[in-house]
Amino acid sequence: MIKLIVIRFLVGGFFVSGFSVLGTIFKPKSFAALFGAAPSVALATLALTIKTDGAFYAALEARSMLGGSAAFFVYAWCAMILLHREKPETKFATAGLLVIWLIVAMALWWAFLRRGA
Amino acid sequence: MTMSIRVNPAALKEAKWHEYAIRFFLGGLITVATGLIAKSFGPAFGGLFLAFPAIFPATATLIATHEKERKRRVGLDGTRRGRDAAALESRGTALSTIGLFAFGLIVWRLLPMHRAWLILTSAAGSWFAISVLVWRLRIFLHRA
């Protein structure tokens, strides 16, 4: 169990760091920003889940990822509007708005995803 | 006029080592958390967290800080510029979530019937292609 957690941590860290390096080196900035929603955690998690729990289990996780992605869109769009119009501190705005992601993701899960594939 | 995509490796020198360490740590943490949530509450719930914006707040804050510092070095208050850079990052990220949705869709529909590495690679390629397409489309519509 501990070994699996350590492997997950290292693989997840590797994928997230790798995509964030790509986001750093590309120009223009509007293009580099696309890496903000790179499937880094998804790739790391799914690759390991396929090994441990099989393809059907991983596919079910990917199905729910659709709800998470839609919530991510709402979150990022709200962050853009808030930063552009209200001028808050970036760290407080982006961290505080994670509640929006949680609410939208939970709502979509409750409405469409909780019954399984 | 077309907006060309360039690679600037020198940008890596601007970031400090601890900024990469934070991203590595948060990435590792959310990957572990996603696995544990799926084990406790099932894959249909845990899967939501495959698209959790875990490192976005840290990335946007670092971008705003870098822009602010750059302006300060030439004697200007870069607070507004920093926030604008973070807002731009948010917009690009929002566009890219459309590609992330496609990634999930491809893995969900095709993974059980095909080789895993092929599906994950195709899904990642589709994320990139769709994100770039949406980005280009937005520029085109903005200029039209």
Closest to A40 (Cα-Cα) out of B36, B17, B12, B26:
B26
DSSP helix/strand/coil, B74: coil
- Provide the number of CB pairs (under 8 Å) joining chain A to chain B: 323
Say yes or no to pLDDT of A61 above 80: yes
Q: Which residue has the higher pLDDT, B142 or A34?
A: A34
Say yes or no to pLDDT of B1 above 80: no
Q: Which of A33-37, B5-9, B103-107 has the lowest mean pLDDT?
A: B5-9
Chain A hits for B94, CB-CB cut-off 8 Å, are: 37, 73, 76-77, 80
A73, A87, A90, A97 from B83: Cα distances, Å? 19, 7, 6, 15
Q: Does A103 touch chain B (CB under 8 A)?
A: no
> What's residue B16's pLDDT?
79
Chain A hits for B123, CB-CB cut-off 8 Å, are: 39
Closest to A92 (Cα-Cα) out of B132, B9, B83:
B83
Average pLDDT for chain A: 93
Q: Which residue has the higher pLDDT, A111 or B4?
A: A111
Give the tens place of pLDDT for each residue, A1-56: 889 999 999 999 999 999 988 988 998 989 999 999 999 999 999 999 999 999 99
> What's residue B68's pLDDT?
84
Average pLDDT over residues A57-79: 97
Q: Does A7 touch chain B (CB under 8 A)?
A: no
> What's residue A115's pLDDT?
75
Query: Could you write out the DSSP letters of every residue in A33-83?
Result: GGGGG-SHHHHHHHHHHHHHH-HHHHHHHHHHHHHHHHHHHHHHHHHHHHH
Say yes or no to pLDDT of A117 above 60: no
How do A26-27 and B6-7 pair as beta strands? antiparallel
> What's residue A1's pLDDT?
81
Mind telling me how many Å the CA of B70 is from chain A's nearest CA?
15
Say yes or no to pLDDT of A87 above 90: no
| Pairwise CB contact (< 8 Å): B93 & A36 | yes
Give the tens place of pLDDT for each residue, B8-33: 888 887 777 888 898 899 999 999 99
| Pairwise CB contact (< 8 Å): B86 & A98 | no
> What's residue B19's pLDDT?
83
Say yes or no to pLDDT of B124 above 60: yes
Band of pLDDT at residue B2, cut at 50, 70 and 90: low
Average pLDDT over residues A58-81: 97
